[in-house]
Structure 1
């Protein structure tokens, strides 16, 4: 197949993560799809997993992919989980309004040995505050402090934004 596009210009080859995201968007998450992805990519690396999670059009697809990679023997084959992978998932579920999945993903970081920093806490706080779950946010804030992680200016801005968003919702005249 020629790598030349119209008028003789070179086309950029499609990125592997884009192919996987398109496959996930167009097919049901069943064994045949998993086998197709596995035949395309026998071994995943951090960048590819991150790019697939970030590029998935549907947060459910991202979670299915993540859980599949997590369950497979890939972590034993050298894939190193990094915080940014989890941040994308936490944020995606939060934007979809699925707070509990965001919290599960956040908790799984500890189980997988992924260090949490202020970045992952801030994303979690934004998800929680977006849904008005202030007591939950307070519990995780205290947990963060107990882990020795100091809040940033952004952390406080997220809390202020959350409170004002909640109050503004009651100001319907």
Structure 2
């Protein structure tokens, strides 16, 4: 059988050398040892631009540092020594800052503990403003016994007389805690403490006892208020109307409303809303 030969047709190589493209030729011929292009220097920043790009770090106030320490470490002698190293003397602004910060963090217990450390072992002498700050904080957190001890024991030990606003906040706190008898005790104690009672403290004790339905006692205190020459204000009448409505004593609430107008006190929106709510609740 005759063999079949496969003919491979290959392209003929040209006798002329292949010339690369001009761009490729330039790339191949260029030397790698050429000097690099000079670096472009960044323009120098002005002092204003530097301050914008690199703002100064805020220095943390000392009271924030101490607050951070007492919130995250167990209260020990070592912690107290660390506080003394930071500040050998504790001034009123520093102590007040720590107390306010602890209260804002919901830690009235730490505020009280730091206050005790400050005046017992760090030489701090409290000011009237210290108690005006701390007592309402403790009262709002239902730490009523501690607040009462500050008012009746600690303040006299520093020859500081409580003010009416501090006592009124404590009286109101006893009312919210449903302990009206303690509110009345504090209220009656105020003249012995040298505190003149105004509508502020009368309003606080009226609300405290009306919260528990003591409408007869509220009438006696209101009559004593008039007898003592203390002028009832708008809050006094709104409190009485609210309290008598709560006790379903609508006749008494209406009499208070009439007395209010007779004494020249103009009712406001709260007065009318309170009276309407009392009518609805008393039906």
TM-score band w.r.t. shorter chain = 0.7 to 0.9
Aligned to 1:49: 131
Cα distance in 1 for partners of 2:117, 2:101 equals 11
Q: Is the 8 A contact 2:163 2:195 kept in 1?
A: yes
Cα distance in 1 for partners of 2:208, 2:151 equals 24
In the TM superposition, what are the counterparts of 1:1-173 in structure 2 within 5 Å? 8-12=57-61, 13-14=63-64, 15-18=97-100, 25=109, 36=117, 38-40=120-122, 42-56=124-138, 58-59=141-142, 61-72=143-154, 74-75=155-156, 77-167=158-248
Q: Is the 8 A contact 2:161 2:193 kept in 1?
A: no
Tell me the C-alpha RMSD between the 2 structures: 3.3
Note the residue ranges of structure 2 that are not aligned, 5 or more in a row: 1-55, 65-96, 249-277
Cα distance in 2 for partners of 1:78, 1:171 equals 49
Cα distance in 1 for partners of 2:171, 2:153 equals 19
How far has the Cα of 1:112 moved from its partner? 0.4
Deviation digits for residues 69-127 of structure 1 (CA, Å, limit 9, x no counterpart): 5224x426431321011011011111111111111111221110101001110111111
Q: Is the 8 A contact 1:24 1:33 kept in 2?
A: no
Larger radius of gyration: 2
Q: Is the 8 A contact 1:87 1:123 kept in 2?
A: yes
Note the residue ranges of structure 1 that are not aligned, 5 or more in a row: 1-6
Q: How many residues align?
A: 162
